[in-house]
Amino acid sequence: MKRVCTIFLILTIISGMFMPSVVAGFDDISDQTTQTAATLLQNLGIVAGYGDGKFHPGDKLTRAQFCKMAVLLSGMQDVAAYEGFTIFPDVRANHWGRGYINAAVRAVKIITGFPDGTFKPDISVSFAQAVTTLVRLLGYNDSDVGPNWPRGYLDKASQIGLTKGINSGANDAITRGQAAQLFYNAIFATNKNGKKYCDELGFTEQKVIILRQDGTSPDGRNNGLVTIGGDGFYPYRSALAVEEGWQGTLLVDIDGYVLSWTPDAQTKREITVRTVGPMSVTGSDGNKIDNIPSNAVVYINGEKNTWDKCWIDIPSGLALRFFFSAAGAIDYIFLYQPSDTGDVKIIYTEPAAGTNPLPSLDIGANARILKNGVAASWADLRLFDVLIYNAEANTVSATDFRITGIYENALPTREAPDEVITLGGKNFKLLPNIRSKLAQRKPGEALTFLFTPDGRVADIRSERLPTYQPGVTIGDSSVMLYNGMIISGDDQLPSGYGDGTPVLACMWESGKLSLQAITVKGGAELNIIDMKAGTASIAPYAVFYDLSGTGGRAVSVERAALPDTINAADVISVSYDPSGCADLILLRNVTGDSWMYGFTTSEKGRFSSSDITDDNGNVVDTVTSYVPDRVIIENQYGTQTFNDYRNLGKNSGSNIYGVAIGTNGSVIASKACVRVNNIRRSDFSGNTSITVSGVSRPIPDDLTVYVQATKKYISIADARIYSNNFTVFLDKPASEGGKPRFIVAL
């Protein structure tokens, strides 16, 4: 069944359907599966509940009601054109559902009447009738299911997952709860075109772990899910029954809003630590989890680590959540303490060397400390750090993020501000105790804003000199700071700051990005295991940027992505904080993450001529110019072309290349990737790692798979289902730490 117009319509409807307020879930649904299904339909505008705010999941559903729901799911919202005529004698002009019934019959063609010519709109819809309607909505017809009704439709429904979780006889009247589950299953079922129906609706599925349920994004958006994986933050406008730490799948609409959450089939054990060792944890209740693998994944406030590297820093009294797969193996270990629950403290005096500043802030001296999201100690705390102390968990979340920007405006008013607008139009919530302080300021002033770990403004200060933060230039007028915040100016960046240049940035003047080059101070050998840069300590919260080469573009890299040791020759610069700890490190092509990978072709330079004509169209001159060598890279992000002045690009019809791009937009290096054939489905460890040449290598989060037959890119999960034969391209041999950079499904 063709539905190009229908799908376009539902995308238009759904993108504008939501209201900005949060809608509560249905409090009369006790079954979690039904609640999930009903919430999704509520988000899509297919159900709204009764006037009392309840769903009444046990009530029977009429044929007319079911018909309306199916029409709405098809994408047809306006049925006015189908209200002016009668198809069935028992569906007259005064029947509320006539437009939907007529549209279902004539436009969507998913339902019929009874042999006697009636529709019987107000009798209960049977299970067989409901299933038949939705099977047809998914594009199947009698020729696909056979002549025996309802058996053929019921069998097809079972085959495509439409009736999963529902036990009902063909002639049984279905309830509203069962209908919600049927519609939920339909959205995720495979239609006749071989696609999930949700894909045709323009939705995407994102595999994530829920870090926070009611969090704030780095750019200040509230009421969202903070996730590990995916985009990291997803707003939602309706109640979602999610549990922090759980892994599952989000259904996301075209505007980036979450419509639904489906948790994985996991089990969980929570244990309050009494003692911890390299292979086990004993809880305060005496229960023990033993034989913890050394490479077990641990998420601490969203940062990925492994058990062997972090168990020694886990203190007693901390609540750990162990998540197990259906087979009983540890999937991962999870720790998160909400940073916005607790007392906000600011260090206004530089701590004396060897002195724990926590007691002076009325915080326990032995509190566990997370600074900039990673485990730290009290010795890492500095002047103007902002802390949030959770006394119950005896945990401190700290950050040193502060930046100078122009006070642009305030909401709701400047006289009584709740939010400040700064850094090029970004909104940030104010802590209550500084509202009056901002009210005394005038728009246009340059202020340094001190932020809490969750992005609220904890204080404002007038500084003689601006406070800069490290970042990387993107495009010609923006900088992405190390914490993911993007700030943009009104004008193009000064010359010398091409795309991908590591810089220090702030907004000291209105509309203008103020940039400083990061001083090259010389490298030092890095020991990432011992956190040493030469003889100096590397701060736990140090920022690392990896450049594709001399003059190359930079990307921010996590400490966990670095090798255990890095030669001094590969370290461009190390900057130190006032205490002598390395806090900003520039690397030269250590991870390869700053290179581009894909199908690479080269074009030789050529002369190009163009005619100059007068007003009468007569050629009066010819101008000849030289077009330099160029390299063309095609990958999951599209096709990009770069000048190749030194003829460094390569052209191969059978291999994938990595290309390093300079901040001036030209090629500075190129090399063929290492090709490994005959990789099987069994070589993948889920969607996160793959065994190549006997070595397990992590798969970059953003990597997709190129399907040779269709020339399309699909997710790792879909590729594992699609094929059992892959070719993997790495930036260097797996035995030397090479990473998969391009995967082809054969």
Average pLDDT, the chain: 86
Contacts of 52 (CB under 8 A, 6+ apart): none
Structure tokens at 204: 């995407």
Is the pLDDT at 331 greater than 60? The verdict is yes
Comparing 375 with 227, which gets the higher pLDDT?
227
Backbone angles phi, psi at 262, to 5 degrees: -120, 105
pLDDT at 10 over 50: no
- Summarised one tens digit per residue, pLDDT across range 344-355 is 999 999 999 889
CA dihedral of 139, 145, 146, 148, whole degrees rounded to 10: -110
DSSP per residue over 34-52, as a string? HHHHHHHHHHTTS----TT
pLDDT tens digits for range 613-660: 878 888 777 776 766 788 899 998 899 999 888 787 766 555 789 999
The residue whose two tokens read 């798969």 is: 699
pLDDT at 730: 94
667, 631 Cβ separation under 8 angstroms: yes
CA–CA dist 448, 440 (Å, integer): 15
- Cis link prior to 121 (omega < 30° from 0)? no
Q: Is 6 helix (H, G, I), strand (E, B) or coil?
A: helix
Give the pLDDT of residue 716: 86
Nearest one of 183, 215, 208, 211 to 197, comparing CA atoms? 183
d(CA 139, CA 484): 43
Does 357 have pLDDT greater than 90? yes
Q: How far is CA 206 from the centre of its chain?
A: 8
Query: What average pLDDT does range 232-258 have in this prediction?
Result: 86
Question: Which positions ≥6 away from 662 have C-beta within 8 Å?
Answer: 498, 548, 549, 551, 552, 553, 668
Question: pLDDT (tens digit, 9 = 90+) per residue, 497-518?
Answer: 999 999 999 999 988 999 999 8
Sequence-ordered strand ranges (E) for 301-445 = 303-306, 319-324, 330-335, 343-346, 368-371, 374-376, 386-390, 395-399, 402-406, 409-412, 417-422, 426-429
- pLDDT reported for residue 337: 56
Query: Which structure tokens are listed for 735?
Result: 């035995």
Task: Report d(CA 207, CA 718) in Å as an integer.
Answer: 12
Burial class (CB in 10 A: 0-12, 13-18, 19+), 36: buried
pLDDT tens figures, 561-617: 889 999 999 999 999 988 888 999 999 999 999 999 999 988 887 677 777 787 888
Burial class of residue 664, CB neighbours in 10 A (0-12, 13-18, 19+): middle
Q: State residue 336's pLDDT score.
A: 67
233 alpha carbon, distance to own chain's centre:
6
Burial category of 194 from C-beta neighbours within 10 Å (exposed 0-12, middle 13-18, buried 19 and up): exposed
Whether the link from the prior residue into 150 is cis, omega within 30° of 0, is yes
Helical packing angle, 176-188 and 127-137, nearest 10°: 20
**Rounded CA gap, 210 and 208, in Å?**
6
pLDDT digits (tens, 9 = 90+) for 181-208: 999 999 999 899 888 898 888 899 999 9
**Residues across the chain:** 746
109 torsion bin: left (phi>0), alpha (psi -120 to 50), beta (else): left
Query: What is the distance between the alpha carbons of residues 580 and 584, in angstroms, rounded to a whole number?
Result: 12
Q: What is the 3-state secondary structure (H, E, C) of 212-254?
A: EEEECCCCCCCCEEEEECCCCEEECCECCCCCCCCEEEEEECC
pLDDT of residue 675: 93
Specify the pLDDT at position 54. 82
Parallel, antiparallel, or unpaired: how do β-strands 740-745 and 705-707 relate? parallel
Which pLDDT score, from 0 to 100, does residue 19 have? 29
Distance of CA 406 to the CA centre of its chain: 30
Of 736, 725, 734, 732, the C-alpha closest to 697 is 734
Is a pLDDT exceeding 70 seen at residue 316? Answer: no
By the 8 A CB rule, do 569 and 620 touch?
A: no
| Nearest residue to 166 (alpha-carbon basis) of 54, 26, 326, 34 | 34
Half-sphere exposure in the Cβ direction for 428 (13 Å, CA) = 33
pLDDT bin (cut points 50, 70, 90) of residue 12 is: very low
Tell me the C-alpha distance between 100 and 105, whole Å: 9
Environment class of residue 675 by beta-carbon count within 10 Å: exposed (0-12), middle (13-18) or buried (19+)? middle
Name the DSSP class of 336: -
Mean pLDDT is highest, among 31-35, 50-54, 536-540, for 536-540
- Bridge partners for 330 per DSSP: 324
Instruction: Report pLDDT digits (tens) over 253-295.
Output: 888 888 888 888 899 998 878 778 888 888 877 788 888 898 9
More confident residue, 50 or 326: 326
DSSP β-ladder status, 297-300 and 330-335? parallel
Give the relative orientation of helices 63-74 and 127-137 as an angle to the nearest 10 degrees.
20
Asked whether the predicted pLDDT for residue 339 surpasses 90, the reply is no
What's the farthest any 2 CA atoms get from each other in the chain? 95
Mean pLDDT of 12-38: 58
Residue 148: burial class (beta carbons within 10 Å; 0-12, 13-18, 19+): exposed
pLDDT in the model for residue 679: 95
Amino acid of residue 432: P
Lowest mean pLDDT among 46-60, 82-96, 499-513, 667-681: 46-60
Is residue 705 over pLDDT 90?
A: yes
Task: Please classify residue 563 by burial: count the beta carbons closer than 10 Å to its beta carbon, then call 0-12 exposed, 13-18 middle and 19+ buried.
Answer: middle
Token readout for 42 is 């509520």
pLDDT at position 583: 92
Run of H or E residues at 450: strand 446-451
Q: Residue 376: which of 393, 354, 360, 396 has the closest Cα?
A: 396
The pLDDT-based confidence of 14 (bands split at 50, 70, 90) is: very low
**Per-residue pLDDT, 285:** 72
Structure tokens, 703: 């990597």
Structure tokens at 314: 């886990």
What's the rounded mean pLDDT across residues 532-537? 93
- Phi/psi at 273 (nearest 5 deg)? -70, 130
Instruction: Output the pLDDT for position 48.
Output: 78
State how far Cα 357 lies from the chain centre. Answer: 36
Tell me, what amino acid is at 115?
A: P
Cα separation of 375 and 615, whole Å? 72
